[in-house]
């Protein structure tokens, strides 16, 4: 793919073990498993392990992309703000002879750990196979194109590429997002009207093309 992959919060949350640890922050999704493996047993991993699978944007300054800083009430000096405890690549508060300043790129700036972007908003759609009458409720990223949504749907129908996707009678452009194809995101309006979102999930209809692909 020519662009980053988008992930749902639930997909990030699925990676919450020491051997498979993801976090998200400021819209990025990082796989910290190599970091955990490299520093296995280091106590500075604890704050990261405690937040496995979670969004840790509150640790960072959205303007600089760096860890938040605050004034130390004891010394009056500016230091990194780590209320959950000091973690990897954060220097100690006081000078120490055992701290190596040459750590290279800190993990939160290491592009090698980035696996994609966190969706700004997830959406639910109903995908209805008009040939079999099977219906699947699918959570997707609002930034995803129909082609990317199709990839999510393949687990339910390996021959999904052999269907024409339609909404409200119009053929959908698979290179565009749901919104770009005219499927409105009405969640905010529904919340304001105190209506149940689940009762107003838009439906995409799949029409068989008679050119069955191999799964």
Q: In this structure, what CATH number is given to the domain that contains residue 172?
A: 3.10.20.90
Assess whether 152 and 99 both reside in one domain.
no
Range of the domain at 110: 6-118
**Neighbour count for residue 108 (Cβ, 10 Å):** 21
Per the CB < 8 A criterion, the answer to whether 126 and 137 are in contact is yes
Across the range 63-67, mean pLDDT stands at: 95
Whether residue 137 sits in one domain with residue 69 = no
CB 73 within 8 A of CB 114: no
d(CA 36, CA 28): 18
**What is the rounded average pLDDT of the residues 151-170?**
95
Q: How far is CA 89 from its chain centroid?
A: 24
- Would residue 39 count as lying in a domain? yes
Distances (CA, A) of 16 to 106, 156, 213: 21, 25, 36
Q: Is residue 214's pLDDT more than 60?
A: no
Structure tokens at 98: 């055992």
* Strand ranges, E, within 102-210: 114-118, 122-129, 135-141, 163-167, 170-171, 203-208
Judgement on whether residues 112 and 140 belong to the same structural domain of the protein: no
For residue 83, the domain's CATH number is 3.10.120
Report if residue 214 sits inside a domain: no
What global pTM score does this model have? 0.88
pLDDT tier at 93, thresholds 50, 70, 90: confident
């Amino acid at each position: 793919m020519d662009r980053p992959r988008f992930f749902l919060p639930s997909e990030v949350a699925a990676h919450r073990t020491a051997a498979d640890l993801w976090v998200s922050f400021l819209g990025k999704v990082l796989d910290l498993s190599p970091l955990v493996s490299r520093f296995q047993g280091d106590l500075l991993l604890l704050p990261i392990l405690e937040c496995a699978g979670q969004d840790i944007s509150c640790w960072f300054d959205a303007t600089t992309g760096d860890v938040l800083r605050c004034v130390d009430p004891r010394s009056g000096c500016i230091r990194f703000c780590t209320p959950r405890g000091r973690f990897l690549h954060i220097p100690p508060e006081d000078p120490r002879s055992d701290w190596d300043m040459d750590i290279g790129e800190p993990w939160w700036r290491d592009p090698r750990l980035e696996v994609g972007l966190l969706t700004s908003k997830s959406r639910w759609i109903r995908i209805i196979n008009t040939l079999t009458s099977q219906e699947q409720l699918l959570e997707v990223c609002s930034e995803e194109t129909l082609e990317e949504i199709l990839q999510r749907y393949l687990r339910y129908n390996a021959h999904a590429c052999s269907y024409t996707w339609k909404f409200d009678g119009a053929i959908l452009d698979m290179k565009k997002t749901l919104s770009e194809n005219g499927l409105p995101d009405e969640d905010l309006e529904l919340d304001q009207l105190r209506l149940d979102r689940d009762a107003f999930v838009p439906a995409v209809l799949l029409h068989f093309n008679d050119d069955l692909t191999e799964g």
